[in-house]
Structure 1
Amino acid sequence: MIHPEVETPRDDDDVLQDFRHFQLEKNYNHLLLMGPALTRDFLEKVNADLVPRRTYLFGYELNTKKILFVSGLFLLFFTSLFGAVVMWFTDFFDNAVLSTMVISNSSKNLRLWTNPPPKALISVYIFNYTNLEEFDAKLEKKLRVNEVGPYVYEETLQKVNVQFSEDGTRVSYQEKRSYKFRPDMSKGKQSDQVYVPNIPLMAGTAITKHHNYFARLAFSSFLTGIDEQPFVKLAADQYIIGYRNRLVDLSQSWSWLNGQDMHGVEKVGLLSAKIGVNPHVFTMNTGKADIDRLGLIEKLNGHEQFDYWSTSDCNRYVSSDAIYASAEEKSENQCFCSLSSGECPLRGVFNVTPCNYGIPMFISNPHFHGADETLLQAVDGLKTMRKKDIQTYINLHPTMGFAMSGRVVFQANIQVQKAYGVYQMDRFQDGLMLPLAWLKAEIKEESLPEIFLELIYDATYTLKGVKMAFQYGFLLTTLVTLFCLVLVLRNTWERPRRARDSVRRLHRQDTDVIEI
């Protein structure tokens, strides 16, 4: 059965509620329509009550709004002028940017500083001695070398035991290094056999040189007993990373001979002293007090300078392009001469013996490039090197000052220092400089990780764009506000003059009418 649809009667409460809702909606729409008018009336009332139309200043009646407008222009003009002077003629912006590089416990760049992402590539070129038998048999007068390599190792650097000073201006740390062989970049295998100078034997001979004859004779007998020869045959990796030697093992016992603490020296090699945690403690300036001193090494093991040489200038933690100059060429280098013997290094070499437990080590350019002729003629097989291939440089970011790339090149040499009674060294000429290897430590821009490239990009282009925006923005604002001020002030000065001129013209016309 179908029932017709019948509208259900609504309660009075529902009808009343709908009516109230309609009234509220109507009032709301009315308020929306009246809003702008109410706001305008309110602001005009506030403006009339709080901001007078006329202001009396120094006896003059002036328009208040014009005074406020001109005051705002003056304020904007001087602010932009000050900003333009600061941005164009001071280093305020650059220093503000550099302040973000200050090293601290809370700085964002602390992780990049303790674990620097760029990994240096160490290329080692070994001097392999090829005529030892002929030299021992006196068939040849000079030793002959043949350069082999490069053997390339990737260096990972980490700063450990980091401690900040109480005021945060200095940070102390130690360096931890490890090396990984890169066969893809090397020219040779780790197992390549090379004949190289026996560094422990030559070091021991040089040390016993300053002791009595019986000590030298005992040392020579000891060398004979363990069958140590002036040259040894080693794998290339052993010579570079380090190898155990009986003389090194026993060095702890006779370290008193030269007054050097040899504890902790377990291996001998070109890079062995750098592997692991370096015992030396570096103290670096964080840049907090003076941003210009950021990154400067101020102390080493708590001392502000070395105590190896005779003057404070030579003992500073700085270097120069003239370290390979002789004392005759550069008088300041006389401090590197030995006070006991009076001997000075020849041109082209630098004496690092005091830094190496008394071992007669010298550094130079590869293949004695630019050195004294005596060094060039000491051994056969040296090559003429192009200056650009052995040049040491560092490429710094022009604004931020951090290193983007760089290269350090040097050659390690050991000097023969004969000691009467140690017959193992009789075949050699005293003072002969034997090249060991030359090394090239390099960081290339193309090998930098993505995070470092982004940092370089931001520091190069983003910051430069921001600086230019501030410079030209302040300059443009200064010129615009100056132009507006000139117009406003000109109109302000011209209006009274025009009014006076009008009054004069009217007065003149009135006078003419009266006369007529």
Structure 2
Amino acid sequence: MWKKPWPIIVSSILCFAGLVIVFVTPIVLKSLVFYNSILRPESRVYNLWKHFPVRVSVDFYFFNWTNPEDIYSKGVKPRFAEVGPYTYMVDLGKTDIVWNDNNTVTFRPIKYYYYSEDKSNGDLQDRITCPNPVSIAAAHVSRNWNYVVRRGLSLTLSGIAPTVNISRTIDELLFTGYPDTLTKMAKTFPFFAGTEIPPWERFGWFYKRNGTSDLEGIYNTGTGINSIFAKIYKWNYWSKSPYYEGTCADIDGSTGEKFDQDSLGDRIKIFSMELCRAVVLQYVGDVDVDGISGRKYQLDDYMLDNGTKYPETKCSCSGDCLPYGVFNISRCRYGSPAFGSLPHFHKAEPYFNSLVEGLHPEKEKHDFYIVVEPYTGFTLQARARLQINLLLHSIPGVTIYENVPTAFLPIMWFDHRIDVPDSELFMLKQILNVRWISTTIGVVMMVAGLLLVLYFIMKQRRRNVRMKETLQNKVVLKRPEEKKLLSEK
């Protein structure tokens, strides 16, 4: 037995304190993360959510059609040359915020685009040649009409839009828009009765999108209280998208700001109003973002499939299944034959690039991915890259489209880049460092306590051995004296 109990007391305290630090600190930190991830007007995350503290950038690349005069020449493919980027800095915000009784919040996203001349490779007044989106859309919509009615449309197009191509400035094609006679007159044409027509008289790919919230839609998302923060429950009051069928119609996924860390698996979903559906991303590995480890998810074969590899993705075809790599968004775009893909048909079947010339897919430049910090669920980095394509195909009865080749014509692609602000990155590092440091300290304390006990056990054993040896030596010395006394007697 030890004469003094303090070694046991000290080692017990170290082991107990270490256990508390190792097991209790993560619980406390997770509670703090959860508490600070609840969206409410007085919370810290609210200001970050309502107005992103830094401007993000988006690059627009357009495809200049260099040989439109050869569109009716057999064996000659449409040829394109990429121009850009035309870079904009974007303020991200939310407006018309309504707090609901079911612990969700309803709002409209709003974006302000500011052209960055220094970061752009070109000028907004650059003029390019591209397919005529309004004319192609009108002809495509008429493909199932009565032949006589199609001839009526043919005469109309011959008078106001006699060519498959148009020439416009980048500014007109993006936000300013350009006046289009067919768009203006469509409502007066009897053959467009019953057809959904855009409610404006100008056309631009992002017309009415700068500084307004009208076209972004109305989002209903969770606040973190009896709901999942940033998870979309409804869009435009729909829980099912009217543009798709089956599970593809589910209004599902995150806004992209944060994900439920407890359900981070092989796939995550981000809802895209550009596609009117959720974008599915697949886990591809862990990466480092400014010293923080995150899970990287890419737009990959599941999202790019049309029922070939994954039968459940057939619902994304919208009645027109295509080879792997391109997804149909025509119903989401007023019936226009619009199709989404990765830039330059990256990861798509060679079929699509075989129909045109001038496209060169590159993995590093054209991947769509997002990096999520798994402990908090917050997004560390995002590179949203998508390309808009128009399907050109023969339409009997519409003269200018009767003899055109079948091709998916690339129009433009954008690269939307989002990175966590330095201030938020610093705080995230502190949370993760405290978690790592506390775990390390706890383990060190437990090991120190166990080593201290082991040290005193060994020390006590050595002391016991020495005491035993001393007693034995005394006995050995005493026996000869006893013999001498007995002999004298």
**Shorter-chain TM-score tier:** 0.7 to 0.9
SS in structure 1 at match of 2:425: helix
More strand by share: 2
- The alignment status of 1:246 with 2:181, answered yes or no, reads yes
Query: 2:209 maps to what in 1?
Result: 274
- The alignment status of 1:421 with 2:397, answered yes or no, reads yes
2:46 alignment partner, one of 83, 86, 110: 110
Distance 2:68 2:35 in 1: 59
Query: 1:440 maps to what in 2?
Result: 415
Judging changes above 3 Å, is the alpha-carbon distance between structure 1 residues 258 and 371 closer, same or farther for their aligned structure 2 residues? farther
Judging changes above 3 Å, is the alpha-carbon distance between structure 1 residues 398 and 269 closer, same or farther for their aligned structure 2 residues? same
- The alignment status of 1:387 with 2:363, answered yes or no, reads yes
* 1:224-247 CA distance string (max 9 Å, x none): 332443211101221122322122
Distance 1:434 1:147 in 2: 13
1:383 Cα deviation (Å)?
3.3
Q: Is the 8 A contact 1:365 1:410 kept in 2?
A: yes
1:140 Cα deviation (Å)?
6.7
Q: Is the 8 A contact 1:119 1:156 kept in 2?
A: yes
1:464 Cα deviation (Å)?
3.2
Distance 2:385 2:109 in 1: 21
Matches within 5 A, 1:462-477: 462-472=430-440, 474=442
- The alignment status of 1:300 with 2:280, answered yes or no, reads no
Matched residues, number: 416
2:128 alignment partner, one of 174, 194, 198: 194
SS in structure 1 at match of 2:95: strand
1:415 Cα deviation (Å)?
0.6
- The alignment status of 1:85 with 2:23, answered yes or no, reads yes
How well do the aligned residues superpose, as a CA RMSD in angstroms?
3.9
Distance 2:436 2:75 in 1: 69
* 1:408-467 CA distance string (max 9 Å, x none): 1222100124433211212312x4211112221123x5xx6xxx312211211x223433
Distance 2:376 2:193 in 1: 46
User: TM-score, with normalisation over the residues of structure 2?
Assistant: 0.73
Any stretches of 5+ residues in structure 2 without a counterpart? 253-268, 270-279, 282-299, 461-489
Any stretches of 5+ residues in structure 1 without a counterpart? 1-65, 492-516
Query: 1:122 maps to what in 2?
Result: 58
Query: 1:231 maps to what in 2?
Result: 165
Query: 1:286 maps to what in 2?
Result: 223
SS in structure 1 at match of 2:171: helix
SS in structure 1 at match of 2:202: coil
Q: Is the 8 A contact 1:310 1:336 kept in 2?
A: yes
Distance 2:241 2:309 in 1: 24
SS in structure 1 at match of 2:139: helix
Letter in 1 for 2:222: N
Judging changes above 3 Å, is the alpha-carbon distance between structure 1 residues 428 and 103 closer, same or farther for their aligned structure 2 residues? same
1:469 Cα deviation (Å)?
5.0
Query: 1:41 maps to what in 2?
Result: none
- The alignment status of 1:363 with 2:340, answered yes or no, reads yes
Percent identity over the alignment? 23
SS in structure 2 at match of 1:110: helix
1:368 Cα deviation (Å)?
2.0
Judging changes above 3 Å, is the alpha-carbon distance between structure 1 residues 311 and 398 closer, same or farther for their aligned structure 2 residues? closer
Matches within 5 A, 1:21-420: 81-87=19-25, 92-136=28-72, 138=73, 141-168=76-103, 170-241=104-175, 242-253=177-188, 257=192, 259=194, 261-262=196-197, 264-272=199-207, 274-275=209-210, 276-277=212-213, 278=215, 280-289=217-226, 293-313=228-248, 315-317=250-252, 318=269, 319-320=280-281, 321-322=300-301, 323-339=303-319, 343-380=320-357, 382-420=358-396
Letter in 1 for 2:424: L
Query: 2:423 maps to what in 1?
Result: 454
SS in structure 1 at match of 2:58: strand
User: TM-score, with normalisation over the residues of structure 1?
Assistant: 0.70
1:475 Cα deviation (Å)?
5.2
1:83 Cα deviation (Å)?
4.7
Judging changes above 3 Å, is the alpha-carbon distance between structure 1 residues 84 and 404 closer, same or farther for their aligned structure 2 residues? closer
Q: Is the 8 A contact 1:285 1:295 kept in 2?
A: yes
SS in structure 1 at match of 2:246: coil
1:162 Cα deviation (Å)?
1.0
